[in-house]
């Protein structure tokens, strides 16, 4: 099989809305000048001095209003993202519901998470642990969940009293602007939340600026390493949520066909462009062949669809021509090194970032694909012999974001899940992303946590307040 990798996208870079269905460039946005960046940081610093003095209850009320506005504007926001990144509108709608849940969660629980804790109080002393905002934070966000990724970083920090300057991905500027407007209309004061169209070079200068107190990045391993190195050189706190190559282990199944189809459905969500997608399916040898056959049949039956009119049994374009080209090159390299491509994996003979969903098997540890992250609709299936084999293979990865174990024997599934070297381990369920569940990984998947109680415990000054009563 041949793999055409020549790009047919217009040579446009920077912030732009480029429909991945056709590669048509709909709008281009200018970068901020250095003077505009400096003014934005000054505005953020000025706004921060007032924002952090407002009560947590006031900030929580604004988070409630933001949640209501996201709910009201769901149809408009979903349409914007579908056009910019090719994501099906029903999937964007589900993402927006998560944003609503996140904002409401921190509006409701944020005051408790930020409350002071009495460490000691007697006739001689009073010691209090206070949770105070750090100040202005920089967020660097990806395109694949253009609203959810922002909400899970911004909501807890706004309620805590931090201010935000945010650099979104260059391929979703309309989504970035629309979300900024939601925050402003919801009552977030001018300067407290600012979207910034800046270059990578400007990002380094922003991190170095004394007004920035911390950086949160969700993105690639390479981007995370670069940002962490820069932030470290300026002694700035960093939270990183990077790539993942999550292993889902199938030890037994009452209905093998249903298990295979469920696995494919999860892998096809957002066309496989999710950090916690089930990128490696580890299937017991006792039903491996039947599982693979069903996965191939199901994937082969998927038809080209329109993200603006989603329907069951369809697939959509990847987010960009570059993403499609990169995935094709990865697949070609895997096949060249000996892997078996059972179906799909080719570009469509049409404009746009279209790649037919694929099923890949026979990947061995000598191949690049064994440790790479396929950020696209590639179902990679491995054969395992037993629990020990599953744990060894699952943990033999540079990544450690999440994982899952499926078995009719829940005791067995729990035993294996306890051995996964990941930030999030699941039993008989594909994932647990929710507002109250901490999210994050280990190893090359990053460090720090978002969401849940821990989401308000990263960019905070845990200040000791000590009173001598004698």
Distance CA 211, CA 206 (A): 9
Tell me the DSSP string of 55-86: -HHHHHHHHHHHHHHHHHTHHHHHHHHHHHH-
- List strand residue ranges (DSSP E) for 157-209, in order: 163-167, 193-195
Beta-bridge mates of residue 166: 139, 195
Quick one: residue 105, left, alpha or beta (phi over 0 = left, psi -120 to 50 = alpha)?
A: alpha
Compute the Cα dihedral for 136, 141, 146, 152 and give only its sign. Answer: negative
Distance CA 102, CA 285 (A): 41
Cα angle for residues 203, 204, 207 (degrees, 5° grid): 85
Q: Which residues of 255-292 are buried (b: 16+ CB within 10 A; e: fewer)?
A: ebbebbbbbbebbbbbbbbbbbbbbbbbbbeebbeebb
Q: Which two tokens stand for residue 208?
A: 């170095």
> 170, 180, 241, 458: which one is catalytic?
241
Distance CA 56, CA 53 (A): 9
Distance CA 32, CA 64 (A): 31
Residue 376 · residue 272 · CB < 8 Å: yes
> 170, 221, 275, 372: which one is catalytic?
275
Q: Which residues of 81-91 are buried (b: 16+ CB within 10 A; e: fewer)?
A: bbbbbbbbbeb
Q: What are phi and psi of 134, to 5 degrees?
A: -85, -35
Distance CA 305, CA 319 (A): 14
Reply yes or no on whether 275 is catalytic: yes
Distance CA 250, CA 427 (A): 11
Tell me the DSSP string of 46-60: HHHHHHTTS-HHHHH
Question: At a CB cut-off of 8 Å and minimum separation 6, what does 187 contact?
Answer: 61, 62, 65, 66
Reply yes or no on whether 241 is catalytic: yes
The catalytic site residues sit at 241, 275
């Amino acid at each position: 099989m041949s793999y055409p990798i020549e790009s047919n996208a217009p040579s446009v870079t920077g912030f732009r809305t480029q429909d991945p269905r056709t590669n048509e460039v709909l709008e281009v946005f200018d970068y901020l000048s250095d003077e505009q960046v400096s003014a934005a940081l000054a505005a953020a610093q000025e706004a921060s001095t007032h924002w952090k003095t407002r009560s947590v209850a006031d900030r929580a009320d604004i988070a409630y209003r933001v949640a209501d506005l996201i709910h009201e504007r769901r149809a408009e926001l979903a349409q914007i993202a579908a056009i910019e990144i090719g994501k099906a509108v029903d999937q964007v709608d589900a993402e927006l519901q998560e944003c609503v849940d996140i904002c409401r969660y921190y509006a409701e629980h944020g005051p408790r998470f930020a409350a002071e804790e009495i460490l000691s109080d007697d006739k001689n002393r009073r010691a209090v642990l206070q949770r105070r905002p750090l100040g202005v934070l920089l967020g660097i966000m990806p395109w694949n969940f253009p609203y959810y990724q922002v909400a899970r970083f911004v909501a807890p920090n706004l309620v805590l009293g931090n201010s935000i300057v945010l650099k979104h991905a260059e391929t979703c500027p309309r989504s970035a602007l629309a979300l900024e407007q939601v925050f402003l209309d919801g009552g977030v004061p001018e300067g407290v939340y600012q979207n910034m169209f800046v270059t990578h070079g400007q990002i380094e200068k922003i991190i170095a600026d004394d007004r920035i107190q911390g950086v949160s990045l969700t993105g690639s391993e390479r981007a995370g390493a670069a940002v962490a190195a820069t932030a470290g050189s300026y002694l700035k706190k960093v939270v990183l949520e990077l790539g993942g190559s999550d292993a889902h282990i199938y030890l037994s199944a009452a209905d093998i066909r249903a298990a295979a189809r469920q696995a494919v459905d999860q892998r096809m969500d957002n066309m496989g462009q999710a950090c916690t997608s089930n990128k490696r399916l580890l299937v017991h040898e006792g039903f491996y062949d039947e599982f693979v056959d069903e996965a191939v049949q199901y994937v082969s039956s998927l038809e080209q669809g329109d993200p603006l009119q989603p329907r069951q049994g369809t697939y959509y374009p990847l987010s960009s021509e570059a993403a499609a080209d990169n995935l094709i090159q990865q697949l070609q390299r895997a096949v060249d090194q000996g892997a078996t491509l059972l179906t799909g994996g080719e570009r469509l003979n049409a404009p746009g970032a279209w790649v037919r969903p694929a099923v890949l098997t026979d990947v061995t540890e000598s191949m690049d694909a064994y440790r790479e992250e396929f950020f696209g609709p590639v179902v990679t299936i491995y054969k395992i012999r037993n629990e020990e084999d599953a744990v060894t293979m699952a943990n033999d990865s540079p990544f450690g974001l999440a994982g899952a174990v499926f078995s009719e024997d829940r005791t067995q599934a729990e035993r294996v899940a306890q051995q996964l070297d990941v930030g999030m381990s699941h039993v008989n369920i594909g994932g647990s992303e929710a507002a109250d569940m901490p999210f994050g990984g280990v190893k090359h998947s990053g460090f720090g946590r978002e969401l849940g109680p821990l989401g308000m415990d990263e960019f905070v000054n845990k200040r000791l307040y000590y009173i001598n009563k004698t």
